Amino acid sequence: MSVDLGKARTGIAISDESESFAFPKQVITEYSEERLVAKICAAANELGAELIVAGLPKNMDGSEGFRAEECRSVAEKLADASGIEVVLWDERCTTLSAHTVLNMNDTRGKKRKQTVDAVAAVMILEDYLAFRKNRK
């Protein structure tokens, strides 16, 4: 399962058992970090997640800023609360790429706002799965 953490909306994606494909699952709208962690844990439990890949928003030069620190903190809380291993994964340009995909599919307005984070989570998961496959 992957998570694209956001200030207001957090995208969730899952993969098939063979780890060949990633699918958008849901977007959680939550402003409270504590409730967000609880909702992600509930989703992970419901989906039977064995690993959580959380996006780490690095700057384009590879450095980490304030938002990356926040994501690291949420990832630690998520690992503690869920008991599931959480891997941080570089998410540079995933939201931009998600917007490009939605443009190509002519997805606009409210529907776009509700899906962009889940599409970004798919991209994070696809990148991580490709890395795992190539590492074996």
Task: State the pTM of this model.
Answer: 0.82
pLDDT tens track for 46-97: 999 999 999 998 877 878 888 889 999 999 999 999 999 999 998 865 665 5
Beta bridge partners of 58: 64
Give the separation between CA 81 and CA 79, rounded to whole angstroms: 6
Q: Which domains does the chain have, with CATH numbers?
A: 2-135 (3.30.420.140)
Cα Dmax for the chain:
41
The pLDDT value recorded for residue 63 is 81
Residues 25, 116: Cα–Cα separation, whole Å: 12
Over residues 111-127, the pLDDT tens digits come to 555 676 787 888 899 88
